[in-house]
Structure 1
Amino acid sequence: MPRPFELEYRVFEDAAALSHAAAQHFVDCAKAAVAQRGKARVAISGGSTPKSTFALLADPAQPYRAQMPWEKLEIYWVDERCVPPEDADSNYRMTRKTLLDKVPIPASQVFRMEGERDPEEAAARYESVIRGQFRLEGAQGPVFDMLALGMGDDGHTASLFPHTEAIHELGRIVVANHVPQKQTWRITLTWPVIVEARDLFFLIAGKDKADPLQRVLEGPYDPETLPSQLIQPRSGKLLMLLDKTAAANLPAPGPDGVGKMEIAR
């Protein structure tokens, strides 16, 4: 059943400004989690906007690197393509080359999805890893301190694509998802896990996202066609960091660049 939540969207002039805002948000969330719980368990996504954000976080010339509690982070992935870790399409490879190889995160605190394995096996193994790290039993699911999502121009998020089986999964933490429209398999966290994150936010940039974003937020509830509509945070609050072109069809934000909506379907 859909649940109401409060959406805050922050609109930035361009993709560069958005990446800086995202980098600062990563730092703020990580520091808050470490202060409260002694560590920050972070689930990240691939894509061009996260890549730019990771580059900023790793850059010693930027303020973010010195602020981040690197040794207290645990890094997980929201989803992965079914390719080896050195493949150009690998989300892990992008993150490693852009961020992980350049900052002092202990290797033992980085938990990748094994995209080179059989998809079902890789999903089962990753669920086992998460259960072990979070010390979960039975039907209990993980609560990530921070979880970053993107959104495709088809309304998908994570690897929850329109009209695919993973949309309907309620009991698993991680699943293999066949994506016929891309003729491929993906590995993804399930949406019931995603919505439990303490700090859940989207990074969305580009004019090709303006129409689907408007339909996700203001259109009829149809998660089979627009899986991003499944992301209704348990906390009751969702943040979207947007560039101007992605936000073009939404109500104009205030003078501070911040807009708010009550989403109740």
Structure 2
Amino acid sequence: MAKTTQVEYRVYDGADALSRAAAEHFLEAAQAAVNSRGKARLAFSGGNTPKRTFELLANPAERFLKAMPWEQLEIYFVDERNVPPDDKDSNYRMTRESLLEKAPIKPEHVFRIEGELEPELAAARYETKIRSQFRLEGAEAPRFDVLALGMGDDGHTASIFPHTAAIHELGRIAVANHVPQKDTWRITLTWPVIVEAHEVFFLIGGKDKADPLDRVLLGPYDPETLPSQLIQPKNGKLLLLLDRDAASLLPAPDANGRGTLEITR
């Protein structure tokens, strides 16, 4: 059965404006989740744009540090490289240095992927952590409150890369995914879990993302080649925060930098 997704995209001028918009969105979404459910479970991705966003959230000169309900946050990770937590390529290290060490987040509310372990073991331990926190033994999937994604120039998202096994995983929460094109292993949340989130949004910047983004949204459905096409949230809504370079091939936004698409697949 075909599914229709309402896509909203918001376009900003440059990396700084995009990062600030993402920080504002994290704040609003976290506050809404805390008001509704008493806590906010956030799942972060890595990358340069999230790093700038995290630095804004933790900057004492900005309003976010005082406004964010830090004590009610639980922090999770969408994916991780198969590296130790102090490695320069670790998503956890980037998040720790840019946000976790500077904001009043309870250490016991941060749930990292143990990338230093054998990949299958790291994925299994991460899944167990999530099930325990969500009390989901036997349940179908957790529901994160806010889940932020990036997108690669090859159309991948999380660590679900083209032509890799994670594309076809339907039953697990987290898996080890071998990525031959990078000759490495990654640990990633699976797409059936990602689409369960109360809110899913992509944060995408750069000229190299314009063509894959256009193909993901407006091209033929081919998730084996473009795994980002798998992200069709169960709530039927998908938000994209973009800079002008990334959005350059999409239908022009309105005067407020907003655009919408309806995608049925």
Instruction: With the length of structure 2 as denominator, give the TM-score of the two structures.
Output: 0.99
Instruction: Kindly provide the CA deviation profile for residues 88-128 of structure 1, in whole angstroms up to 9, marking residues without a partner as x.
Output: 00000000000000010000000000000000000000000
- Structure 2 residue aligned with 1:5: 5
Q: Tell me the number of residue pairs that the alignment of Structure 1 and Structure 2 aligns.
A: 265
Q: How far is the alpha carbon of 1:65 from its aligned partner?
A: 1.3
Report the AA paired with residue 86 of structure 1.
Answer: D
- Structure 1 residue aligned with 2:196: 196
Answer with 131-140 or 104-113: which moved more: 131-140
CA distance in 1, matches of 2:11, 2:194: 23
Report the AA paired with residue 216 of structure 2.
Answer: V
Q: How far is the alpha carbon of 1:3 from its aligned partner?
A: 1.8
| Unpaired stretches in structure 1, ≥5 consecutive residues | none
- Structure 1 residue aligned with 2:99: 99
Report the AA paired with residue 223 of structure 1.
Answer: P
% identical aligned pairs: 71
CA distance in 2, matches of 1:209, 1:37: 35
- Structure 2 residue aligned with 1:170: 170
Report the AA paired with residue 67 of structure 2.
Answer: Q
Q: How far is the alpha carbon of 1:70 from its aligned partner?
A: 0.4
CA distance in 2, matches of 1:138, 1:244: 44
TM-align CA RMSD: 0.7
Equivalent positions of 1:90-129 (< 5 A) are 90-129=90-129
CA distance in 2, matches of 1:91, 1:113: 9
CA distance in 1, matches of 2:30, 2:58: 15
Secondary structure (helix, strand or coil) at the match of 2:111 reads coil
Q: How far is the alpha carbon of 1:137 from its aligned partner?
A: 2.1
Report the AA paired with residue 158 of structure 2.
Answer: A
CA distance in 2, matches of 1:147, 1:47: 14
Secondary structure (helix, strand or coil) at the match of 1:102 reads coil
Equivalent positions of 1:141-220 (< 5 A) are 141-220=141-220
- Structure 2 residue aligned with 1:226: 226
Runs of 4+ in 1 over 4 A off after TM superposition: none
Instruction: With the length of structure 1 as denominator, give the TM-score of the two structures.
Output: 0.99
CA distance in 1, matches of 2:202, 2:195: 12
CA distance in 2, matches of 1:51, 1:18: 12
- Structure 2 residue aligned with 1:135: 135
Answer with 24-33 or 59-68: which moved more: 59-68
Q: Is the 8 A contact 1:139 1:171 kept in 2?
A: no
Q: How far is the alpha carbon of 1:139 from its aligned partner?
A: 4.2
- Structure 2 residue aligned with 1:25: 25
